């Protein structure tokens, strides 16, 4: 039986030997595409599972499902997840007589939790340029040009973009003497 870091899988009637370390190396320089619902965490970045499996196999994304991709990556030992549904209804959009499902409106506590998770993610990205939208990390890149190019290519907008400080001194805004 294969170790957790390697698997032989069949996708679209083709066999592939996939290795966790090879996928980590292949995605190291790959910028993730926007996440629509499912993601896999590789090297502190979230990728769409189909993007990763297409890269690893060379297959067209139409040849397999997100569920297959997630299952394969999970069996290789990667963390997978799903973006929570956060549909917020603003009061100016409500029509008379409409009801609002309060279970779909994020509470202040969940908002604080998302900000805390974002802060933890940012501490793992010292020196990286990041794009943030609605308390969610869209992308971390080495240069601001990469960040802006990715946002433009994927027709995305960020609430903020900045470079994560490398240490406490830089975070405090103090210049070296």
Domain co-membership, 76 together with 125: no
Phi, psi dihedrals of residue 55, rounded to the nearest 5°: -65, -45
Question: Residue 48 falls within a domain, yes or no?
Answer: yes
Which stretches in the chain have pLDDT values below 50?
A: 1, 86-105
Domain range holding 72? 6-82
Q: How far is residue 32's CA from residue 30's CA, in Å, rounded to a whole number?
A: 6
Q: Which SS3 state, helix, strand or coil, does residue 18 take?
A: strand
Percent pLDDT > 90 in the chain is: 34
Question: Residue 101 falls within a domain, yes or no?
Answer: no
- pTM of the predicted model, to two decimals? 0.61
Question: Residue 104 falls within a domain, yes or no?
Answer: no
Question: Residue 136 falls within a domain, yes or no?
Answer: yes
Instruction: Convert the pLDDT of each residue in 23-37 to its tens digit.
Output: 999 998 888 888 888
Question: Residue 51 falls within a domain, yes or no?
Answer: yes
Instruction: Convert the pLDDT of each residue in 95-124 to its tens digit.
Output: 333 333 334 445 556 778 878 888 877 877
For the stretch 141-149, contacts whose Cβ atoms lie closer than 8 Å and that sit 24 or more positions apart, written own/partner, are 141/31, 146/31
Whole-number pLDDT of residue 90: 35
Domain co-membership, 12 together with 77: yes
Question: Residue 147 falls within a domain, yes or no?
Answer: yes
């Amino acid at each position: 039986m294969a170790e957790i870091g390697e698997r032989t899988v069949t996708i679209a009637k083709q066999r592939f030997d996939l290795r966790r370390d090879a996928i980590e190396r292949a995605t190291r320089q790959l910028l993730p595409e926007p996440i629509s619902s499912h993601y896999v965490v590789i090297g502190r970045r979230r990728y769409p599972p189909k993007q990763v499996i297409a890269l690893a196999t060379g297959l067209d994304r139409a040849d397999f499902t997100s569920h297959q991709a997630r299952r394969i990556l999970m069996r290789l030992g990667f963390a997978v997840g799903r973006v929570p549904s956060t549909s917020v209804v603003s009061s100016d959009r409500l029509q008379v007589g409409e009801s609002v499902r309060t279970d779909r409106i994020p509470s202040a506590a969940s908002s604080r939790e998302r900000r805390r998770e974002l802060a933890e993610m940012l501490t793992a990205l010292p020196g990286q340029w990041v794009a943030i939208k609605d308390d969610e990390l869209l992308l971390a890149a080495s240069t601001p040009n990469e960040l802006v190019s990715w946002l433009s290519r994927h027709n995305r907008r960020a609430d903020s973009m900045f470079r994560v400080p490398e240490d406490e001194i830089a975070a405090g805004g103090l210049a070296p003497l």
